[in-house]
Amino acid sequence: MTLTFAHSWPLPATPERVFTALTNPADLMNWFAEGAMVEPKVGGVYRFWGRHTLFTPPEDAARQTISHYQPVTRLGFNWPLNEVDTNVILDLAPNEAGTTLTLTHRVSGDLLVPRQKELIEDHWRLAIANLTAYLAGTPSFTLPDYFAQAPRPA
């Protein structure tokens, strides 16, 4: 199974500020992950981990790497999800109100969970809503706990 999620969002900040929010570990830990490490170059690490990121293991098992790095315009990273290769590309373009972020996430395999497409879509919609709020200086975020188990009926 292969799936691709692609969507664009307007963001209330310049492309420079958005790129920083996507590549600075301190920024990432505010809106996306419990932990982050970035080596800003193709082939460098783009590691993020913790309960707020989908299928993301603890720090010692995070294996994300940068596949594209063009400051201010493009960031791409490989992100193994549930042992399946995936790639995320984030393209930034200026617009009248700030930036348009276009995200493309390609999943090359079966994640072995129900409703895979919806899971990827929901993850990114929530993450980019958090990024938007962070860039706007709004302190309220919805940080999911992907490690929590849902209660099951008795």
Its pTM stands at 0.92
Q: Which residue has the higher pLDDT, 4 or 54?
A: 4
pLDDT at 87: 98
pLDDT at 92: 98
pLDDT at 141: 78
Across all residues in the chain, what is the average pLDDT? 93
pLDDT at 151: 53
* Residue pLDDT, tens place only, 7-21: 999 999 999 999 999
Q: Is the pLDDT of residue 154 over 60?
A: no
Radius of gyration of the CA atoms of the chain, in A: 15
pLDDT band at 58 (very low <50, low <70, confident <90, very high): confident
Domains along the sequence of the chain with CATH: 2-136 (3.30.530.20)
Q: Is the pLDDT of residue 53 over 60?
A: yes
Looking at the chain, the whole-number percentage of residues with pLDDT higher than 90 is 79
Q: Is the pLDDT of residue 152 over 60?
A: no
Query: Which residues, including other chains, have CB under 8 Å from residue 61's CB and lie 6 or more apart?
Result: 49
The mean per-residue pLDDT over the stretch 93-106 comes to 98
The mean per-residue pLDDT over the stretch 134-153 comes to 78
What burial letters (b/e) apply to 111-129, b meaning 16+ CB within 10 Å? beeeebeebbeebbebbbe
- In single-letter form, the type of residue at position 79 comes to W
The mean per-residue pLDDT over the stretch 73-88 comes to 96
